[in-house]
Structure 1
Amino acid sequence: MTTEPSRHYGRVMLKISGEALMGDQGYGLHPPTVSRIADEVESVQQMGVEVCMVIGGGNIFRGLQGSAQGMERTTADYMGMLATVMNALAMQSALEAKGLHCRVISAIRMDEVCEPYIRRRAIRHLEKKRIVIFAAGTGNPYFTTDTAATLRASEMNCEAIFKGTKVDGVYDKDPIKHPDAKRYGDVSYDEVLQKHLGVMDASAIALARDNRLPIIVFSLDAPGGFRSILEGRGTYTRVQN
């Protein structure tokens, strides 16, 4: 277990993959799983922490995979961005069902379903204790939602990015395939890049490094895992200088 004295984070970014929303299904959305993740977010907001989110779209459509199958890359990436909007709306619905105030903000204008990205407005939502979900990536092809999460976290002045995964940190090799895999407690941005540790894509790691934005990698499958880290408990890996 990795522990440190409890510190107060005022504002954080939670980055999760689209696959995290599909539960044991092979595709799409699993409403009980979406609701469980909403519970995790609610528990953190109850601590007084301002929360923003970026959710991938791989459970519906992955642009890079579509491109590999012969689709024009830019078109495939825009389709992936639309998938992230669908996931963001699903999460918004789950959060609002719990009585929480939430806004979906899209990098691509679609005013009938969500707000356009305006930095000052997004910050104001957070100050009003609304949960903000950033959708449609950066609005540009060739950029991943990892990069979008790091960009928005920097723009929102977040104190850390929490990357929710299926494992409880960063390992030197796949812990599912290799029982002897070693988990890092702390690892530097440069080491992540040099060893290809797969925390986030290289652009996201470089952007986080340049803005001195820590990345906390933890298991989203562990109930209460998100809150426990904010309370100074739990198991995770911290990526920082």
Structure 2
Amino acid sequence: MEVSVEVVHQTFRKTFFADVIASRSGLFEFKAAEAIHSRHRAQTTQYLLLFGLHHAKIINVRPEAVEHEFVNILSNLNELRKPRILDASLLLESPGAGNLREILLSLIHDWGAGLDLALYEEAIIHFLGGESAVLYKVPVTGTGGKLAEQQMRLVAPDAAFRLTAFSPGSPSYTKFRTHAQRLLDHTPLNFIQWINIHQTELTFNSIQRIQNTKS
């Protein structure tokens, strides 16, 4: 039997449905996929945090032989509400930086830092005025002119924002910064406000466009 939990912060609310909770201590999630994927594990981890549980079992009924996988966590949302804040690389005077920081810190202090990125992103978009005020197609240009348009989330007319969940100091973290800088330099935007959300650490970065000095 499905059970629900509602995530609320001020005027934002979203309801999640889990498949089965047994004896108020264990969660069972049923899937019908080719295989159990990382997104299934992430979803199940989020449900454990939201329902205040520590143990779950994902059961996939799609293969010829039913497969299952256990998901266990040690943390709870109370422990995830006070991650270390690293914002020395955030340019507070840059467009949207202060507002974005304020919104996200409010969410983290309420919900904790271990939930799915899509939930934080959806809430941020809500508090910035909704999709019509945030989602824009931004032209990406090369040396020969316009290459394509890429949909981005804008926190200000010349600043996009991006959330990630890399482990601090991981190669993926470094690669993302390089990629974001390269992308920014091929758009008319001046900033990407980048926030990396880890369970124990929240890092704010302002990536600034490298101005073309050619005459």
Q: TM-score, normalised by structure 2?
A: 0.24
Q: More relative contact order in 1 or in 2 (CA 8 Å, sep 6+)?
A: 1
Q: Which has a greater percent of helix? A: 1
Tell me which protein shows more strand as a share of its residues.
Answer: 2
Query: Which structure: larger Rg?
Result: 2
